[in-house]
Amino acid sequence: MTKPLYVYDDSLLKYRFNSTHPFNQMRLKMTTDLLQSAGFLSEENIIKPRRATDEELLLVHKQDFLEAVKAAGKGQLSEDKMESYGLNTDDTPSFQGMHEKSSMLVGATLTAVDAVMEGRTGKAASLAGGLHHGFSGRASGFCIYNDSAVAIEYMRRNYGKRVMYVDTDAHHGDGVQWIFYDSSEVMTYSIHETGRYLFPGTGSLTERGAGEGFGSCVNLPVDAFTEDQSFLSIFKESLEAAIIKFKPDVILSQNGVDAHYRDPMTHLSLTSASFEEIPRFVCEMADKYTDGKWIAVGGGGYNIWQVVPRMWAQIWLAMTGNEPPRGRLPQKYLDQYSPKCPVDFPAYWPDDTHDYQEIPRRREITEKNESTLNRAMLHIES
């Protein structure tokens, strides 16, 4: 069996809005350093990304949007034009070289796709990607270009594959959903915090696709403060049912870890137990239903010190067949990052849950999520 591959290069760290913006790709370097320090990732597993071409970006993005991003990245786009393209907002401020740096993230995901599609590996991770809020003609929610959507259309067009998109970010995967809303060859599955309290406010059960794509869109909006057990039970049951119905050739999963209870931007209450289990279940589904073909991208995660590196490490550990580690993190990693950390730096692989708040209305939330699952299952099976 070919070994899984990990797409990484320091050029992927340059996608950076400004020094105070919550989207900080330092989390990608920290994850990579953690895996290497622990001996789980070696140079022979790492492949270098390439930049996506304009032709590849145009698989899902509009020409005028590409031109706007290029101009904005050179400081040559008027303020009103920027606004119409979702650029230079609080969420997606313009930055120098925006087109080039954004297309590197897309190219990294396409690098993972080609490695799997060409048979060089069965599984590949491109944790720099996962920018699921990007629309065909507009930036949104920290996302300029939508690497997952480009990758899905690339697999569909170039390799004739049916793609299952699995999104476990706390935020609804709206950009990917709407781009493929009327396609019967792509299934989008998103489990996320209900849009009643959280950006982007979409992802209801009733969003099921349109035209030929009706039934190829699955949403599981869960209540605020949802915990591990409730999340995992409805995730596993609904995802496997959706995969069985759709019969995909390949799975592309978006692995935002902002559903963690320490994430500053969401209201879910998952611990490391969920983030150990999610990628292992997706891996199991790929081995069972798609001949092992699985591409994993990153996504949300805004507590870069205490959460993201340990949670994202689990994706690679799942791919490589490693059980979730226990005990202390590698001393080399602790020495490297602990002195820079402005908060308590975690010293162990699993969460120390001393700061975990007991959840109000636990039973009510669980029952509500079960009701959501039951309704979603009726949709999936109909």
Q: Which amino acids are annotated catalytic?
A: 133
Backbone torsion region of residue 167, taken as left when φ is above 0, otherwise alpha when ψ lies between -120 and 50, otherwise beta: beta
**Residue 337, strand partner residues:** none
Q: What is the dihedral of CA 123, 247, 373, 298, to 10 degrees?
A: 20
Report residue 190 CA to chain centroid gap: 10
Distance CA 52, CA 114 (A): 12
Cβ proximity of 98 and 144 under 8 Å: yes
Spell out the residues 6+ positions from residue 79 whose beta carbon is closer than 8 angstroms to its own.
Answer: 88
Query: What is the arrangement of strands in the sheet containing 186-193, beginning at the earlier edge strand?
Result: 46-47, 5-7, 123-126, 294-297, 250-254, 163-167, 186-193, 217-222
Q: What is the dihedral of CA 199, 200, 204, 209, to 10 degrees?
A: -160
Place of tokens 């979603």: 376
Residue 295 main-chain phi, psi, to 5 deg: -115, 125
Question: Cα dist. 190→86, 164, 336, 361 in Å?
Answer: 23, 11, 36, 24
Strands (E), the chain: 5-7, 46-47, 123-126, 163-167, 186-193, 217-222, 250-254, 294-297
CA angle 208, 373, 235 (to 5 degrees): 95
**360 DSSP 8-state letter:** T
Residue 280's SS3 state is: helix
Strands (E), 243-314: 250-254, 294-297
